[in-house]
C-alpha cells in the first residue's frame, strides 16, 4: 500500500476522506471557494467523496466534519497530467532497432525498416500496452499518440489502437493521430482517401509531416488544401509534425496558419516541433508567431526528442537546443505545451512517458524557470483543453479525484528529484505505480537489452 508520508500511516480506504495540507497549483485550480494566495501554490484540504473531489477548503476550515484523513504535510498535489504528443506505436523498439548515429535521417530509415519487418498487430499492441502501463504508473491521465499510417500499416495499427483505447477507458483517455508525409495527398489520392476514411471511422485526428526537405511550394499547397478539405468534410481536428529541422527551408508553419485563417477552419489545430522557427530572423519569426496566434494554432514542443536529434553532427558539439520559441509564442497568445514524443526508439533513445520528467527537462531546456508564465499548465490544463477533454488537467470541486501526490513542497523540490515516490490516485484511490519490467519485451524484441 502506498505510503505518502514516509511514516507507517496508510491511505484511507473510506468512501469519504480528506487529503490534508495539500499544495495545489493556483494555475491548475478551478472553482475554488476562496482566493488562492498569489504564490504559485495554495495550501488546501481536499475532501474526496466517492472518487470525486467534493470540496477544497483552506486547511483546518471551521466546521469541517471529522473524516478519515491523510496528511500531505504541504506536499504538492497535481492533477493527473496530459501528454499531447507521443508515438506509442513506435515505443520501445530500441533493443531491436537502435539508431546507429543519432541523426534524424537514421531515425526515419530505421523506423521504416522495423515497421516493414515487424509491426504486426501483436507487435504494435504489446508495445502500446507496455507504454501505457508506464504512462499510467507515472500519473498520466490522457494521452494523444501519432500512429504511422502509411501503406499497409494503417489497416494494422488503427484497429489495434481502437482496441487498446477501449481497454484503457477509465484509466487513460486516448486519442490517435494519423502520421504520414503530406505529399501522400498529392502522390497517391486513393491511399489518402482510404486513410481519411480510417481516421474518421476510428474518431481520430488527421495529421501529417509538413516539412519534407524543401521550402513550401505548389505541391505543398495542394497537399495542405486536400488535407484541410478532408478534415472539414469529416469534422476532424488537425495535428501536424511541423518544421522539425534547423533548415532555413523548413518554413511550413506560417503557411499552415495562413490556410487556417483563409479557410476559417472550424476544428482545432496543433503544430508539433516547429524547431526551425527558433532560428528564423526576428521579423520573420514575429510575423509567423503572429499568424499562429491569430489562427488559434496550439504549439507543442518536444524538448527531450529535439535535444537528441537536432544539431547532431559527427564529432561536433551541439550549438542550439532545438526547441520552438515557446516564450514568444505564449506571449503572443498562442496555446503552448510540452510533451514526451518518442520513447526508446530511433527518434529518441530514452524516455518513459513520464510528464514530470518532461516538465523537469523542459524547465531546464526551455527556461520555464524565472518566468511569470504558469508553465505547469503546459502539461496539464492546456493540452486537456486542446484535446477537448473536460475534467482533465485541473483540480477543482466536482472533478475526479485523479491526482499525483508528491512530497515536494515547492517547484524547486519538485524539479530537483525524479519524484519516484509519487503516489497516483485514480478515482480517489492509490494505484500500483510499479513500472513494467523491460524483460517482458525481450521475447518480442528478439533478445535482451542493447
**Footprint on this chain of Zn ion (rule: CB under 5 A):** 341
Q: Shortest approach of Zn ion to residue 345 CB, angstroms?
A: 10
Q: Shortest approach of Zn ion to residue 85 CB, angstroms?
A: 6
317 DSSP assignment = -
Q: Which of 133, 76, 129, 51 is nearest to 391 (CA)?
A: 51
Q: Shortest approach of Zn ion to residue 406 CB, angstroms?
A: 28
Q: Determine the residue with CB nearest Zn ion.
A: 341
What's the CA gap between 130 and 88, in Å, rounded? 9
For residue 190, CA distances in Å to 187, 352, 364 come to 9, 37, 45
Out of 244, 328, 330, 361, the active site residue is 244
Q: Backbone dihedral region of 366: left (phi > 0), alpha (psi from -120 to 50 degrees) or beta?
A: alpha
Beta sheet of 52-57, edge-to-edge order: 52-57, 41-49, 16-25, 69-71
For Zn ion, the closer CB: 105 or 449: 105
What's the CA gap between 355 and 368, in Å, rounded? 15
375 DSSP assignment = G
Query: If DSSP codes are grouped into helix, strand and coil, which group holds residue 83?
Result: strand
**Which secondary-structure segment (H or E) carries 187?**
helix 184-187
For Zn ion, the closer CB: 83 or 402: 83
For Zn ion, the closer CB: 328 or 341: 341
For residue 246, CA distances in Å to 214, 241, 254 come to 12, 14, 16
What's the CA gap between 356 and 342, in Å, rounded? 15
Q: Which residues pair with 70 in a beta bridge?
A: 19
Establish whether 244 is a catalytic residue: yes
Q: Shortest approach of Zn ion to residue 241 CB, angstroms?
A: 6
Q: Where are the alpha helices (DSSP H) in 188-302?
A: 189-201, 218-234, 253-263, 282-295
For Zn ion, the closer CB: 53 or 179: 179
Q: Shortest approach of Zn ion to residue 127 CB, angstroms?
A: 16
For Zn ion, the closer CB: 57 or 341: 341
Angle at 333 between CA 332 and CA 335, to 5 degrees: 125
Q: Shortest approach of Zn ion to residue 233 CB, angstroms?
A: 26
For Zn ion, the closer CB: 279 or 304: 304
Catalytic residues: 244
Amino acid at each position: 500500500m502506498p505510503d505518502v508520508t514516509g511514516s507507517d500511516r496508510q491511505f484511507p480506504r473510506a468512501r469519504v476522506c480528506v487529503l490534508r495540507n495539500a499544495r495545489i497549483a493556483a494555475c491548475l485550480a478551478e472553482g475554488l471557494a476562496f482566493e488562492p494566495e498569489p504564490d504559485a501554490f495554495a495550501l488546501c484540504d481536499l475532501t474526496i467523496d466517492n472518487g470525486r473531489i467534493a470540496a477544497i477548503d483552506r486547511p483546518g476550515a471551521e466546521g469541517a466534519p471529522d473524516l478519515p484523513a491523510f496528511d500531505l504535510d504541504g506536499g504538492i498535489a497535481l492533477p493527473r497530467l496530459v501528454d499531447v504528443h507521443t508515438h506509442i506505436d513506435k515505443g520501445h523498439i530500441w533493443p531491436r532497432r537502435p539508431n546507429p548515429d543519432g541523426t534524424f535521417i537514421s531515425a526515419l530509415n530505421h523506423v521504416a525498416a522495423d515497421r516493414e519487418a515487424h509491426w504486426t498487430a501483436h507487435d504494435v499492441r504489446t508495445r502500446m500496452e507496455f507504454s501505457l502501463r508506464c504512462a499510467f504508473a507515472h500519473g498520466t491521465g490522457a494521452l494523444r499518440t501519432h500512429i504511422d499510417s502509411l501503406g499497409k500499416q494503417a489497416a494494422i495499427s488503427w484497429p489495434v489502437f481502437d482496441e487498446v483505447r477501449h481497454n484503457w477507458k477509465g484509466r487513460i483517455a486516448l486519442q490517435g493521430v494519423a502520421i504520414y508525409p503530406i505529399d501522400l495527398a498529392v502522390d497517391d489520392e486513393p491511399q489518402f482517401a482510404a486513410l481519411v476514411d480510417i481516421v474518421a471511422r476510428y474518431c481520430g485526428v488527421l495529421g501529417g509531416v509538413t516539412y519534407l526537405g524543401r521550402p513550401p511550394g505548389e505541391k505543398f499547397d495542394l497537399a495542405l488544401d486536400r488535407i484541410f478539405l478532408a478534415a472539414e468534410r469529416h469534422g476532424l481536428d488537425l495535428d501536424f509534425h511541423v518544421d522539425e529541422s534547423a533548415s532555413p527551408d523548413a518554413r511550413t508553419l506560417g503557411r499552415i496558419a495562413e490556410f487556417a485563417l483563409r479557410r476559417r477552419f472550424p476544428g482545432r489545430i496543433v503544430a508539433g516541433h516547429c524547431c526551425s522557427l527558433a532560428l528564423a530572423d526576428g521579423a520573420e519569426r514575429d510575423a509567423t508567431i503572429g499568424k499562429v496566434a491569430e489562427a488559434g494554432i496550439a504549439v507543442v514542443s518536444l524538448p527531450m526528442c529535439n535535444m537528441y536529434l537536432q544539431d547532431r553532427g559527427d564529432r561536433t558539439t551541439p550549438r542550439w537546443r532545438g526547441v520552438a520559441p515557446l516564450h514568444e509564442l505564449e506571449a503572443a497568445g498562442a496555446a503552448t505545451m510540452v510533451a514526451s514524443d518518442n520513447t526508446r526508439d530511433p527518434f529518441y533513445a530514452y524516455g518513459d512517458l513520464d510528464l514530470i520528467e518532461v516538465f523537469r527537462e523542459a524547465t531546464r531546456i526551455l527556461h520555464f524557470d524565472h518566468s511569470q508564465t504558469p508553465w505547469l499548465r503546459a502539461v496539464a490544463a492546456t493540452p486537456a483543453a486542446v484535446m477537448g477533454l473536460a475534467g482533465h488537467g485541473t483540480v477543482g470541486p466536482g472533478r475526479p479525484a485523479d491526482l499525483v501526490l508528491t512530497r515536494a513542497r515547492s517547484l524547486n523540490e519538485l524539479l530537483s528529484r525524479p519524484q519516484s515516490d509519487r503516489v497516483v490516485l485514480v478515482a480517489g484511490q492509490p494505484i500500483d505505480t510499479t513500472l513494467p519490467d523491460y524483460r517482458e519485451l525481450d521475447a518480442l524484441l528478439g533478445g535482451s537489452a542493447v
